[in-house]
Amino acid sequence: MTGSGGTRDLEEARAVLAAAERVVVLTGSGISAEAGVPTFRGAGGLWRSHRPEELATPEAFRRDPALVWGWYRWRRALVGACRPNPGHVALAAFALGPRDVEIVTQNVDGLHQRAAQDAAADGDPAAGFPTELHGSLLRDRCSRCDRRTDAEIPPPGSVPGPDDPGAADQAPPRCVSCDAPVRPDVVWFGEALDASSLEHAFEAAREADACLVVGTSALVYPAAGVPRAAVAAGRPVIEVNLEPTPLTPYATFSLQGSAGTILPRVLGG
C-alpha cells in the first residue's frame, strides 16, 4: 500500500518506526536543503549551471583542476556557514533513543555529525554518526597516494560562486608527500564507493525492521539500491520527500513534505 502522505499515513508510519528495533535511514541532499545547502537536481540545484560530468568526475578534475577545485572551495564555504536543521536534529535524537539506528547518507556536508554532537551533549555522539557513502567535503585526499587531511574551510562568503563574475577558479594545492594535486575526498561519478561501507549499508537495509528514506531523488546508484534491498527483503519503507521519486511506487508510506517538518513529527517521542 502506497500512502498519499496524509495525516493517517504519518501516524501509521510513526507507529511502524516506534515499534521497530532496528531502523536504517538513507538520507540525501533534500535533508540539508532547509539548512541552506543546495540540492543537486531540480530548481536551485547545483547541477543547474553545470552538468555533473563537467564537475563531479575524475576526468573533469584531470581536464580542468582549477574549475573543479574552485567549485568545491565555494561549496565548502557555503557548508561551513550552515547549521543542522530540525530534520537533522530529530534524526540525531532518534538515534540516541533505545533503537539500533543506522544512518546512511549520500551527503558530504557533515551536518549529521554536527547534529549528533549537539544532541549527545556530554554523551557519546557515535549513535548518530552516519556511514558516508559519498565521502566528505570536509576532507582532502591526494589524487595519487590517497593521503587524507582535514580540508581548509574558507570563511562564509569569501569564495565567489560559479555564477558570479570572476568565478572561483583556483589551482588545487599539492600533496606534501608526493606532490600530486589534492582533491576533495568525495566519490565522483564512475568511482567506486568504499566497499565495506556499502556492504554495511546493504546489510543494515536487509536486516532492519523499517527503512526511512529522506530527501533523495533515488536516482544515483549504488546508493539508491539500499532502500531497494529493504523492499526486496520485505521491510516497510517510509519515504519523506517534497515530490515523488522512482522509489515512491515501492514505498509503504510516501510522506510528501519537507524533512524539517515531517521528521520531527514522524520520529518525535
Interface with Zn ion (CB under 5 A): 142, 144-145, 147, 175, 177-178, 180
Residue number, 99 or 183, with CB nearest to ligand BJW: 183
Residue number, 27 or 252, with CB nearest to ligand BJW: 27
Output the smallest distance, CB 234 to ligand BJW, in A: 23
Residue number, 120 or 238, with CB nearest to ligand BJW: 238
- Quote the CA–CA distance of 40 and 218 in Å, as a whole number: 12
Q: Are 41 and 243 in contact (CB under 8 A)?
A: no
134 has catalytic annotation = yes
Output the smallest distance, CB 152 to Zn ion, in A: 17
- Quote the CA–CA distance of 152 and 159 in Å, as a whole number: 13
Residue number, 22 or 144, with CB nearest to ligand BJW: 144
The per-residue b/e assignment along 78-93, b for 16 or more CB within 10 angstroms, e otherwise, is bbbebebbbbbbbbbb
Output the residue with the shortest Cβ distance to ligand BJW. 30
Vertex 266 angle, CA 123 and 228, to 5°: 95
Residue number, 33 or 96, with CB nearest to ligand BJW: 33
Q: Which three cell numbers stand for residue 61?
A: 578534475
Output the smallest distance, CB 142 to Zn ion, in A: 3
- Quote the CA–CA distance of 69 and 171 in Å, as a whole number: 7
* Partner whose binding site includes residue 216, from Zn ion, ligand BJW, none (CB under 5 to 8 Å by kind): ligand BJW
* Residue 22 bridge partners (DSSP): 100
* Partner whose binding site includes residue 179, from Zn ion, ligand BJW, none (CB under 5 to 8 Å by kind): none
Question: Max CA-CA distance within the chain?
Answer: 59
Question: Looking at 50, 88, 134, 200, which residue is catalytic?
Answer: 134
* Partner whose binding site includes residue 56, from Zn ion, ligand BJW, none (CB under 5 to 8 Å by kind): ligand BJW
Which residues would be at the binding site for ligand BJW (CB under 6 A)?
A: 28-30, 33-34, 39-42, 45, 52, 56, 106, 108, 134, 186-192, 215-217, 219-222, 240-243, 245, 258-259
* Alpha helices by DSSP H, the chain: 7-19, 30-33, 52-55, 58-63, 65-80, 86-96, 111-120, 195-207, 225-232, 259-267
* Partner whose binding site includes residue 28, from Zn ion, ligand BJW, none (CB under 5 to 8 Å by kind): ligand BJW
Query: HEC profile for 101-131?
Result: EEEEECCCCCHHHHHHHHHHCCCCHHHHCCE
Helices 259-267 and 86-96: crossing angle in degrees, nearest 10, is 20
Output the smallest distance, CB 119 to ligand BJW, in A: 20
Output the smallest distance, CB 181 to Zn ion, in A: 9
* Residue 130 bridge partners (DSSP): none
* Partner whose binding site includes residue 145, from Zn ion, ligand BJW, none (CB under 5 to 8 Å by kind): Zn ion
Active site residues: 134
